[in-house]
Amino acid sequence: MCTKIYPPGMCVDDRLPTSEQFAVTSVNGKVGMGVKSLLRFARGALVARFTGQLSNKIMQHTLQVSPDTHLHDPWFVGLLTHSCAPNSVLDMQRLEILALADIESGDLLTIDYATTEDVLHRQFACGCGSPACRKWITGRREHINETGQAYLLGLEARKVKRIHVRPARRSIR
Ligand SMILES: [Zn+2]
State the sign of the Cα–Cα–Cα–Cα dihedral 88, 89, 92, 97: negative
Task: Decide if 64 contacts 121 (C-beta within 8 A).
Answer: no
Ligand 1 centroid–CA 135 distance in Å is 5
CB 18: neighbour CB atoms within 10 A? Answer: 16
Ligand 1 centroid–CA 145 distance in Å is 17
**Could you tell me the pLDDT band of residue 170, with boundaries at 50, 70 and 90?**
low
Q: Which residue would you say has higher pLDDT here, 170 or 103?
A: 103
Can you tell me the distance from the alpha carbon of 144 to that of 135, in angstroms, rounded to the nearest whole number? Answer: 11
Q: Which residue would you say has higher pLDDT here, 91 or 159?
A: 91
- Encode pLDDT of 51-62 as tens digits: 999 999 999 999
Ligand 1 centroid–CA 57 distance in Å is 25
pLDDT at res. 169: 57
Which fold would CATH assign to domain 8-116? Beta-clip-like (2.170.270)
Ligand 1 centroid–CA 28 distance in Å is 16
Ligand 1 centroid–CA 85 distance in Å is 7
- Encode pLDDT of 109-155 as tens digits: 999 999 999 999 999 999 999 999 999 999 999 999 999 999 999 99
pLDDT at res. 81: 96
- Encode pLDDT of 18-50 as tens digits: 999 999 998 876 668 999 999 999 999 999 999
Ligand 1 centroid–CA 165 distance in Å is 26
Residues 6+ apart with CB under 8 A from 76: 5, 6, 17, 22, 24, 35, 48, 50
Ligand 1 centroid–CA 2 distance in Å is 32
Residues paired with 56 in a beta bridge: none
Ligand 1 centroid–CA 99 distance in Å is 18
Over residues 148-170, the mean pLDDT reads 82
Ligand 1 centroid–CA 66 distance in Å is 24
Ligand 1 centroid–CA 63 distance in Å is 19
Asked whether the predicted pLDDT for residue 105 surpasses 60, the reply is yes
Task: Decide if 107 contacts 87 (C-beta within 8 A).
Answer: yes
pTM: 0.89
